[in-house]
Chains A and B, each alone.
Chain A
Amino acid sequence: MSDSSSFQYLLRLGDDRLVLGHRLSEWCGHGPILEEDIALANIALDLIGEAALLLKLAGQLEGKGRNEDALSFFRDSIDYRNALLVELPIGDFAFTIVRQLFFSTFSLLQMGALERSSNGDLAGIASKAVKEARYHVRHSAQWVVTLGDGTEESHARAQRAVDDLWRYTGELFMADAIDTDAAASGLGVDPSAFADQWRAQVGEVLHTAKLTIPPAAYMQRGGRDGRHTEHLGHMLAEMQIVARSHPGATW
């Protein structure tokens, strides 16, 4: 496996978590209730912490002297490798929490498999991430059930979120040469391997929540190759403005 291929693989892992962590941080001060505001900020910090470690490792594998800050703040959206699912705007609380269930269930499976990575650093990051993801799944599943099996309005909002988000879930499990190379070398895992498990676990929560999975439809893709929605550019502009206005600043 070439260095650039493993670099790309690590970018995908890191960017998913950086972008979703930033999206969640947009709830800070706007949560539906103080306790949930804190919970969302905690999950955001977990994800950004994982992203920092993954992007640092990506920079080391790339070998061009870029650290996690350089990769976060000085890449444009076309160079980001996150799945489209995580870059969509936060929407309402139902949208945020359904997306969190979808991503965290994926992350728990992915990081669980990466604990056996041939790269010791990545295996270490994965075992930290597994602990965190387990809680993220528990928290978001509890909320999806509360909303889905709640009032008429909470049910309608949760079902709309499932319907709107479903077409973005397929990309998480689409494997290309970078994934299969990473799996073959032992560094990474092929995400298509746990698509069925994901569907079973998410399906169980949705069933308990009295929510239905929409009929099979076209699955959106493109984020892994740098073809993003218009939303990512706006998000990055806000996320990167301070670092770009004051290059080299420390705090």
Chain B
Amino acid sequence: MPDSRDQTTNATDGEPKDSQWPLWEVFLQPPNGAAHEHAGSVHAVNAEQALENARDVYARRGEAVSIWVVPSLAITASTPDDMGPFFDPGNDKPYRHPQFYKVPRGVRVF
């Protein structure tokens, strides 16, 4: 996923650094009921245009039943420096992992 602080925008005031339009992140919902997933990004001057561009770029072949577009600047992303401690699963804390439960028969496992 592109970082919101990439080359196209200025992290402090959000103004485009060059002639590019603002960047929007695109999320598609594959079938009804499933969660929206990140598909990519598009440039657009406003939300309606971002929706249309997302539709033209990512959803012309029946990939989606719903589209979300979000200004890239609105996304706060973790930094690579967070890698270690932030995501450490704490393997010494086995109670965090639900491996002690038996999944009852008839329950679909995702």
Contacts and interface: CB of A to CB of B under 8 A. Distances in A.
A33 B44 CA distance: 9
Nearest to B48: A142
B48 A39 contact: no
Q: Which of B21, B44, B46, B52 has the most CB atoms of chain A within a 10 A radius of its CB?
A: B52
B60 A35 contact: no
Interface residues of A, number: 13
Contacts of B48: 142
Interface string B23-48: 00000000000000000001111101
Contacts, number: 28
Interface in B53-95: 53, 55-57, 60
Nearest to B21: A33
Interface in A91-146: 135, 138-139, 142-143, 146
Interface string A24-39: 0000000001111011
Contacts of A135: 55
Contacts of B52: 39, 138-139, 142
B21 to A, nearest CB: 7
A42 B60 contact: yes
Contact of B43 (A34, A139, A142): A34
Contacts of B49: 142-143, 146
A152 B44 CA distance: 20
A39 B21 contact: no
A35 B45 contact: no
A36 B21 CA distance: 12
Nearest to B53: A35
Nearest to A146: B45
A146 B52 CA distance: 14
Nearest to B24: A35
Contacts of B57: 35, 38
B43 A38 contact: no
A38 B43 CA distance: 12
A65 to B, nearest CB: 34
Contacts of A138: 52
Contacts of A39: 52-53, 56
B46 A35 contact: no
A115 B14 CA distance: 48
A39 to B, nearest CB: 5
Nearest to A32: B21
B101 to A, nearest CB: 47
Interface in A22-73: 33-36, 38-39, 42
Nearest to A34: B43
Which 4 A-B pairs have CB atoms at the shortest separation, nearest pair first?
A35-B53, A39-B56, A38-B56, A35-B42
25 contacts: A33-B21, A34-B43, A35-B42, A35-B43, A35-B44, A35-B53, A35-B56, A35-B57, A38-B53, A38-B56, A39-B52, A39-B53, A39-B56, A42-B56, A42-B60, A135-B55, A138-B52, A139-B52, A142-B48, A142-B49, A142-B52, A143-B49, A146-B45, A146-B46, A146-B49
